[in-house]
């Protein structure tokens, strides 16, 4: 059995202290819109540039599916 001498310190609190739920949340950090737009446009441009040649290569290499 455990005694009070074995555990001299109180265990840490699991739940927040009273009154914590009424405090407002900290403000969210500002987003860097130009960087996000530039990243999105670069992805779209890369897919568009690589898509056409890969489509031509696929049509040349892939076997015909429904030829008789």
pLDDT in tens, 24-65: 667 778 878 889 999 999 999 999 999 989 988 988 898 876
What's the rounded Cα separation, in Å, for the pair 65 and 58? 13
The model's pTM: 0.44
Measured CA distances, 54 to 37, 39, 60, 64 (Å): 26, 22, 10, 17
How confident is the model at residue 45, as a pLDDT? Answer: 96
Confidence (pLDDT) at 63: 81
Q: What is the mean pLDDT of residues 10-29?
A: 64
Distance CA 6, CA 40 (A): 59
pLDDT at 32: 81
* Cα–Cα distance measured from residue 5 to residue 18, given in angstroms and rounded to the nearest whole number: 29
- The predicted pLDDT at position 6 comes to 64
């Amino acid at each position: 059995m455990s005694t009070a001498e074995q555990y001299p310190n109180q265990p840490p609190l699991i739940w927040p202290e009273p009154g914590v739920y009424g405090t407002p949340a900290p403000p969210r950090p500002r987003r860097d819109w130009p960087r996000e737009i530039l990243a999105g446009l670069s992805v779209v441009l890369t897919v568009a540039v690589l898509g056409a040649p890969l489509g031509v290569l696929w049509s040349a290499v892939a076997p015909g599916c429904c030829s008789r």
